[in-house]
Amino acid sequence: MKPVDVGQILELEIVDLTSNGEGIGKVNGFPIFIEKALPDERVRVEITKLKKNFALGKMLEVIDPSPERVKPYAEDLYRYGACNLLHLSYQGQLKFKTNLVKENLKRIGKIDVDVNPCLGMAHPYNYRNKSAFPFGMRDGRIVGGLFAPGTHEIIDLNESVIDNPTTIEIMKYIKRTILAYHIVPYDEISHSGILRHVVIRHGEKTKEYMVTLVVRTKDIPQLTAFVENLIKAFPMVVSVILNVNPDRTNRILGDEEIVLYGNSYIHDYIGDVQFAISSKSFYQVNPTQTKVLYDTVARFANLKGNEVIIDAYCGIGTIGLYLAKQAKAIYGVEIVREAVEDAKYNARLNGFNNAHFIVGKAEEVIRDWKNDGIQADLIIVDPPRKGCDQRLLDTIVEMKIPRVIYVSCNPSTLARDLNLLKDYYQIHEVQPVDLFPHTSHVECVTLMSKVEK
Ligand code: SAH
């Protein structure tokens, strides 16, 4: 017997937040998850879904608000869930993130360590350097912006809390003008039309903008005229890319790309290291906080100049190159070929000849390095959300690398991986960094050193 039913309306005390930022209330120990509810609040909810071990509730009213509750900065965006923590004060968000790391380490990692307070932004708005806007038609009008969470309904976005203001202006210009060039938005259901997504990226320091038009077909007679007028209206756009994605798929980018205007990349700086970024390469989306993140890595690395460093999951080489001046050699490994090409180009761009980059899986390439007798003083791992492959962790242990810096974007896989390393490596410092204000995502840097046995 479950203690609640769908449709039931009840009052609840919120006791905690889930890792997705939903409030948790309990009826006889049975958890109910409620979006936009905060700890220490009393709320009225309607039960909307019942599962085996939990229920979902919709908030009807906040009866007693938390002192941490703030009025969302942009009601519309908030309603659509793009920023699921906007109702929580920024200090409250940082506390939530610190706690999230600590709790994951304890619960999943069986590790009880101090976690430094999460490093936040002075002005946590309009921080993104990359935005992807889906385009579509509704009632004879173009809409573009974001998918409503969990659906393919397009929300028409005309202002944003987290996107760059110029980026929003470019997106709105495209929405206003594109039909005049007979460029019709894509329709998912009939798999017809042309424009699927507009992806806009910029260099925070250089103010160079790249516009990628993701299209179903490259048969677009008036495209040249459109691009000419786009760059006239926005001279900061130094690169326009046509990305062709002819498939029925949720993936944004297709394989084929054509440069319509300017270069195939834009530039940016982190500190005084310069990076060229092409349309498909991973580059952290919050440049202000990327510097904070990499400075934390640099502080943990505490380099003397004679270290050999492995940069695993290196993307376009950013972390390794950020440290290259203070190190003897950097060996980067990354699975995406284009990113490795960017990394090599970026090493040359900065005049570093001590940085080497290889395409492949970190768990395979580093094992080969071990078999070739390569020795490293420090390995930095920065895996995607699913964390490190266990073979990589085994190799790190076997290579007896003295120090490990783990950069993680997912506290639960971080905790799982640290648990696997815990008999071999001791943790010195854990530092969360807020790269994604107003969302429940958190980035975290951990410094470890080999246990002497
Ligand atoms: N360190 C970089 C990129 C981190 S994102 C930065 O700070 O910008 C994680 C990267 O890991 C992505 O570029 C992704 O392509 C890459 N990746 C995913 N699985 C991998 C694997 N098994 N081996 C190597 N790289 C992988």
Summarised one tens digit per residue, pLDDT across range 14-27 is: 999 999 999 999 99
**Counting Cβ atoms within 10 Å, is residue 295 exposed (0-12), middle (13-18) or buried (19+)?**
middle
Average pLDDT taken over every residue of the chain: 95
**Looking up tokens 């490093």, which residue turns up?**
119
User: Using CA positions, which residue lies closest to atom 13 of ligand 1?
Assistant: 315
- Over residues 400-423, the mean pLDDT reads 98
- Residue 367 pLDDT > 80: yes
> What distance in Å separates the CA atoms of residue 417 and residue 405, rounded to the nearest whole number?
12
- 284 Cβ inside 6 Å of ligand 1: yes
pLDDT for position 149: 78
> What distance in Å separates the CA atoms of residue 18 and residue 68, rounded to the nearest whole number?
16
- Residue 109 pLDDT > 90: yes
What is the spatial order of strands in the sheet that 154-156 belongs to? 154-156, 141-147, 130-138, 195-202, 209-215, 237-244, 256-262
- 285 Cβ inside 6 Å of ligand 1: no
Least-confidence region, from 43-47, 71-75, 364-368: 71-75
Bridge-based pairing state of the strands 130-138 and 195-202: antiparallel
pLDDT for position 311: 98
Taking the centre of ligand 1 as the mean of its atom positions, its distance from the CA of residue 58, in whole angstroms, is 37
| Residue 148 pLDDT grade (very low, low, confident, very high; cuts 50, 70, 90) | confident
- Residue 300 pLDDT > 90: yes
- Over residues 347-367, the mean pLDDT reads 98
Q: What is the pLDDT of residues 195-240, one digit of tens each?
A: 999 999 999 999 999 999 999 999 999 999 999 999 999 999 999 9
- Residue 1 pLDDT > 90: no
> What distance in Å separates the CA atoms of residue 277 and residue 256, rounded to the nearest whole number?
17
Helices then strands, each counted (H, E), the chain: 10, 21
- Residue 453 pLDDT > 80: no
Taking the centre of ligand 1 as the mean of its atom positions, its distance from the CA of residue 277, in whole angstroms, is 15
pLDDT for position 2: 86
> What distance in Å separates the CA atoms of residue 366 and residue 111, rounded to the nearest whole number?
27
- Residue 78 pLDDT > 80: no
| Residue 54 pLDDT grade (very low, low, confident, very high; cuts 50, 70, 90) | very high
- Residue 265 pLDDT > 90: yes
- 315 Cβ inside 6 Å of ligand 1: yes
CB neighbourhood size of 28 (10 A): 8
- Residue 80 pLDDT > 80: no
Ligand 1 atom, smallest distance to 314 CA = 1
User: Using CA positions, which residue lies closest to atom 10 of ligand 1?
Assistant: 313
- 318 Cβ inside 6 Å of ligand 1: yes
- Residue 334 pLDDT > 90: yes
pLDDT for position 444: 98
| Residue 150 pLDDT grade (very low, low, confident, very high; cuts 50, 70, 90) | confident
Among all residues, which ones are annotated catalytic? 409
- Residue 361 pLDDT > 90: yes
- Residue 81 pLDDT > 80: no
User: Using CA positions, which residue lies closest to atom 11 of ligand 1?
Assistant: 313
User: Using CA positions, which residue lies closest to atom 1 of ligand 1?
Assistant: 314
Taking the centre of ligand 1 as the mean of its atom positions, its distance from the CA of residue 145, in whole angstroms, is 27
Q: Whole-prediction pTM value?
A: 0.93
More confident of the two residues 280 and 119: 119
User: Using CA positions, which residue lies closest to atom 3 of ligand 1?
Assistant: 315
Ligand 1: residue of 273, 278, 280, 282 to mutate (most ligand atoms within 8 A of CB) is 282
